[in-house]
Amino acid sequence: MWREVVERFEGLPSQKKVVELLLERGFQVSPEGKVTSGGIEIPHTQIANEVGVDRRVVDMTVKRILNVPELQKIFENMRSIAFLADVAPLLGLSVIIIYPEDAKEKGILGEVASVIAKQDISIRQAVSDDPYIVDDPKLTIITDKNIPGELIEEIGRLKRVKGVQIHQ
């Protein structure tokens, strides 16, 4: 589905950058044309600065979203999540980043989760980048215990895994 959303902005590279940021961050677009995260409004100038475009590009992107019913429905219902990767060490949690051979393949999360579960380690959060939005997608897993080296090696040997990294 995300590919279809982004494809609606082909030929409009600046607007496409804005849409990619909105999707990546889970920002909403209200019927009034406001970009929000929950109920907090994000000024169009801040979005423009983040992606390196003029504020009017953000204005035009929002108008385009509101003029296409399918896009309007999607962006009205977007939600962001509390991603724990950067604070996990402060909370006593561990972070494993998995780089897949092909993120569009099915079963990567399941295989990795099975390997982790066999070690009696609980997964607190798993966040997978959408391969249609992110150029180099990865799977980030937050666990309740430190990850032993042999577990990292075992995950790295999985057929669909290109690389594994511990984030600290």
Residue type (1 letter), 81: I
Cβ-in-10-Å burial (0-12, 13-18, 19+) of 57 comes to buried
Statement: residue 133 has pLDDT above 80:
no
Rounded to the nearest angstrom, the gap between the alpha carbon of residue 111 and the centroid of all alpha carbons in its chain is 20
- pLDDT value, residue 104: 87
Please say whether the structural domain 88-167 has been given the CATH code 3.30.70.260.
Answer: yes
Instruction: Report the pLDDT averaged over residues 69-73.
Output: 94
1 pLDDT band, cuts 50/70/90, is: low
Q: Does residue 85 sit in helix, strand or coil?
A: coil
**143 and 94 in contact (C-beta within 8 Å)?**
yes
Please give the Cα distance from 156 to 34 (Å, whole number): 44
> Taking the CA atoms of the chain, what radius of gyration do you get in angstroms?
18
* Strands 139-143 and 35-37, sheet pairing: unpaired
- 81, 138, 87, 35 alpha-carbon torsion, rounded to 10°: -30
Statement: residue 135 has pLDDT above 90:
no
Which residue in 17, 19, 13, 11 sits closest to 64, CA to CA?
19
In the block, residue with structure tokens 């561990």? 94
Predicted TM-score (pTM) of the model is: 0.79
Statement: residue 37 has pLDDT above 90:
yes
> How many percent of the chain have pLDDT more than 90?
75
- pLDDT value, residue 168: 66
Question: What residues does CATH 3.30.70.260 cover in the chain?
Answer: 88-167
